[in-house]
Structure 1
Amino acid sequence: MSHEPLVELIRGGLVEGVHHGSVVVLAPDGATLFSAGDPDAVMYPRSTAKPLQATAMARLGLRLSPAGFAVAAASHSGEPRHLDAALEVLDGRSPDLLGNPADFPFDPVERDHWIATGRAPSRLAHNCSGKHAAMLATCELNGWAVDGYLDPAHPLQRAIAATVEDLTGREIDRVAVDGCGAPLFATTLRGLATATAKIAAAAPGTPDHLVADGIRRHPELVGGSRRDVTAVMRAVPGLIAKDGFEAVQVAALPDGTAIAIKIADGGDRARLPVLAATLKLCGVDALEAPENLRVTGKLAEALTMGSPR
């Protein structure tokens, strides 16, 4: 990807570091409101793909509570509420059936507590357990074998891939394995923003809307009590947002205005300043980035010109 400078780290008035990256902001009709770097280069969406995967399962007939869909689209922190929500999706199935690895909770406070009290890593505590629980439920609902449900050739994964292509508007040309063991379908930032916009603007009563509604109702399940993705959704009513490893971020307003971000070096601290700046370009001034991190380059220039909407 041909990335551009997006964020500078400032210390004592000097630029101490620079984060490069790519970003795209789409209008509800799909027109480009702003872009920097290379939004059409193929990349891995990491966990920002989870709302797309949850949407695929809703289209396959999966029906969960709003909390169930929220945790199905989550990279949760492993707090008790997250484990309870994942157990709800499992609906009596054993956590041993989950195909994700055993892990400690993602949240450092919860992780330290588990270690201090001698609790062992578990599949349920893994941040992707909600998604995997939903995958098991979808397999059983459709009469598909649970064994091998993470194989890209499994009917579940083929159906998810088809939905990803439909939502993003582009064919999948590369498949990898995500950290949780699930297939990871490559796309572009433009495709990712397009997909998230469709989910955010989905009409009530549709499968896609079930996912958006769950995320909006339960932002605390999508991330956690100490996570910026949860704080962002609480600060902007109606926003759906998802973070991913290697500093990927998506967000979309209810009207379908959408943002997709990739920080080149995977530096997570640069996500929030870019998200705050791009939301300002969308007319939403609800976030403040740390004072020592400021946007630069084309993004800074766009902010001085005001909202393009």
Structure 2
Amino acid sequence: MSSRPQQPAHLPVVAEVVRSGFVECRHHGSVVVLDADGSTALALGDVESPIYPRSANKPMQAAGMLHSGLDLEGELLALSTASHSGEEFHVAGVRRILAGAGLTEDDLRCPPDWPADVAARDALVRAGGEPARVTMNCSGKHAAMLATCVAAGWPTQTYLDPGHPLQKAIRESVERLAAEKVAHTGVDGCGAPLFALSLTGLARAFQAMVRAPEGSPEARLVAAVRAHPAYTSGSTRDEAALIGATPGLFAKGGAEACYAVALRDGRTVALKIEDGGQRARPVVMAAALRRLGVANPVVEAQAYAVQTGGGVPVGEIRAVGF
């Protein structure tokens, strides 16, 4: 069985959890920052070994779909690259994508799941609902994959097969934007092929997308995410807040604490928290953005996560090494 290459004995600590003045936990990880010219401005940890970017790959996947004939704009295009929360507007958008292709929820091949948003999940439970494919967080991507197949005249039943023309086109898009070959192909949580890249390759891909020519598929996708950040994540999610507060910023997070952000001028940050701890992900990203001179209330708020004891603040999660 293939596995991720052996990591350095001691990846650097990039975040620590402090309670009552005592460090009770440390998160190790890797961070790469690319300057606007593509040179490496900062590299912490291992930024060259392959990782699974998980849903941080979705923008490149969506770009591959656009190049293959996907015809979406605005909020529905943003939804094609989403790890959405399953709120009503997400579910309605997924159904619109499917209906536009003459398809239904029965054509989705992602697994049934509850909405990730607590309020949406509770409302579904109260209504007697059950986990469904359309409320699964990757259903927007899957609906867009199906719509691409219809547009290109490809079979829809096998769209998740790595040998399907759709997945071949997506892999080509990932490799072109990352400027490196996929190191390994696995299966993501939603059932779609998952392509391993280096953290530097992930950063290069995001940089390529924000610097793509106006009117190109990549530029259209970036514009859609910037204009409709809640469709790419959720109305209460940290990624949506960051995009909304920072003009020109493009971002996508992924499972196991992967995260990539590109600024309008091409400067880019990609990170991976080694233990997959999501609580450290926005904190470390905020620290990297502050290092690049990005300053706004959302970045400042995300730079520290309050830890409580007895219902009152007693500590914080804070970044280290920036």
- TM-score interval, normalised by the smaller of the two chains: over 0.9
Of 295, 299, 306 in structure 1, the residue corresponding to residue 319 of structure 2 is 295
Supply the distance in 2 between the matched residues of 1:223 and 1:128 (Cα, whole angstroms).
10
User: In structure 1, what residue type is equivalent to 2:144?
Assistant: A
Match of 2:25 in 1: 17
Once the 2 structures are TM-superposed, how far is the Cα of residue 104 of structure 1 from its aligned partner?
Answer: 1.1
Supply the distance in 2 between the matched residues of 1:21 and 1:109 (Cα, whole angstroms).
32
Of 99, 103, 109 in structure 1, the residue corresponding to residue 109 of structure 2 is 99
Partners of 1:246 and 1:266 within 8 A in 2: yes
Report the identity percentage.
45
Q: Does 1:43 align with 2:75?
A: no
Supply the distance in 1 between the matched residues of 2:121 and 2:248 (Cα, whole angstroms).
31
Supply the distance in 2 between the matched residues of 1:198 and 1:68 (Cα, whole angstroms).
22
RMSD: 1.0
Supply the distance in 1 between the matched residues of 2:44 and 2:193 (Cα, whole angstroms).
28
Match of 1:175 in 2: 185
Once the 2 structures are TM-superposed, how far is the Cα of residue 219 of structure 1 from its aligned partner?
Answer: 0.2
Supply the distance in 2 between the matched residues of 1:189 and 1:74 (Cα, whole angstroms).
20
Once the 2 structures are TM-superposed, how far is the Cα of residue 254 of structure 1 from its aligned partner?
Answer: 1.4
What is the TM-score when the length of structure 1 is the normalising length? Answer: 0.94
Q: Does 1:211 align with 2:235?
A: no
Partners of 1:276 and 1:285 within 8 A in 2: no
User: In structure 2, what residue type is equivalent to 1:32?
Assistant: T
Of 59, 70, 85 in structure 2, the residue corresponding to residue 62 of structure 1 is 70
SS at match of 2:256: coil
Q: Unaligned regions of 5+ residues in structure 2, if any?
A: 1-6, 307-315
Moved more, 109-118 or 36-45: 109-118
Match of 1:72 in 2: 80
Partners of 1:249 and 1:262 within 8 A in 2: yes
Match of 1:273 in 2: 283
SS at match of 2:220: helix
Supply the distance in 1 between the matched residues of 2:157 and 2:37 (Cα, whole angstroms).
41
Once the 2 structures are TM-superposed, how far is the Cα of residue 61 of structure 1 from its aligned partner?
Answer: 2.1
Once the 2 structures are TM-superposed, how far is the Cα of residue 252 of structure 1 from its aligned partner?
Answer: 0.5
Once the 2 structures are TM-superposed, how far is the Cα of residue 73 of structure 1 from its aligned partner?
Answer: 0.5
Supply the distance in 2 between the matched residues of 1:160 and 1:57 (Cα, whole angstroms).
7
Q: Does 1:86 align with 2:94?
A: yes
SS at match of 2:30: strand
Equivalenced residues, count: 298
Supply the distance in 2 between the matched residues of 1:238 and 1:204 (Cα, whole angstroms).
14
Moved more, 3-12 or 109-118: 109-118
